[in-house]
Amino acid sequence: MQLDLKGRHALVCGASRGIGRATAAELAALGADVTVLARSSEALDSVVAGLPRTHADQRHDRIAADMAERDALASVAAKLVAQHRVQILVHNSGGPPAGLACEADPAAFESAFAQHVVAGQVLLQAVLPGMREAGYGRLVNIISTSVKEPIPNLGVSNTVRAAVAGWAKTLAGELAADGITVNNVLPGFTETGRLASLIAGRARARGISEDAVAEAMRAQVPAARFGQPEEIAAVAAFLCTPAAAYVNGVSVAVDGGRTHSLS
């Protein structure tokens, strides 16, 4: 199985912590040069310092940018592709705040759409010429199992994740002939800052302890535990490898069996 990513450049977004950080580490361990992106340069400096290096000429870097700021994001992406031919794009950032769809401020939909859909488009258009030139491209979107089964009280997130899934499926058909695949990884309950804040929010809303909320969530998972960021990252990284060349347009749930739907 061809898993070697030596000589390929990956841009991993939302990589200062959690699933993004773990994915950056996995891609680096497979030999890729990795640029990590998030808003804080300080946080990214320590991520870059900790990324694996499997060969002497492997280089990692970082970009501080806010995925919700379209023009600034386009500008840093243009600088990156002027320096490196990016062949792997992991499109990921923080999830929208929890809440009912019917009560969400319309502006919350606009900002989530900007951060999750528009940002993906900005980054894709920056890296696409290089992917086409290389005849090799991998776009992996980290979204959510909500694209299969909407999750109660994540109204804005459910809405925008579905848009990302529709965008990705469309791109998969458009770009396959160029050697570019587009797939989605759908994390289940994964032990990161995002999960901790969702648990804290539910505990506050219901007036119960965070332990009780976590226990009830774990009870929904056939594996009877939360996932680790590295378990999501392993699947995301596989989708970036040559071995995954014929996997295209799919959404892979990595959720310990929690999602009940067949497709």
Binding site for ligand NAD (CB under 6 A): 14-20, 38-39, 66-68, 92-95, 115, 142, 144, 187, 189-190, 192-195
Which residue, 136 or 164, is less far from ligand NAD as judged by CB?
A: 164
Minimum gap (Å) between residue 249 Cβ and ligand NAD: 20
What's the first-to-final CA gap in the chain, in angstroms?
A: 26
Which residue, 39 or 85, is less far from ligand NAD as judged by CB?
A: 39
Which residue, 88 or 253, is less far from ligand NAD as judged by CB?
A: 253
Order the strands of the 137-142 sheet from edge to edge.
Answer: 61-64, 33-38, 9-13, 86-91, 137-142, 180-187, 251-254
Rounded Cα distance between 78 and 62, Å, is 14
Tokens found for residue 1: 């199985």
Which residue, 7 or 97, is less far from ligand NAD as judged by CB?
A: 97
Which residue, 15 or 86, is less far from ligand NAD as judged by CB?
A: 15
Minimum gap (Å) between residue 19 Cβ and ligand NAD: 4
Minimum gap (Å) between residue 7 Cβ and ligand NAD: 26
Q: Is 47 exposed, middle or buried (0-12, 13-18, 19+ CB in 10 A)?
A: buried
Minimum gap (Å) between residue 172 Cβ and ligand NAD: 20
Minimum gap (Å) between residue 166 Cβ and ligand NAD: 16
Residue entry with tokens 């990595």: 254
Minimum gap (Å) between residue 139 Cβ and ligand NAD: 15
Which residue, 86 or 136, is less far from ligand NAD as judged by CB?
A: 86
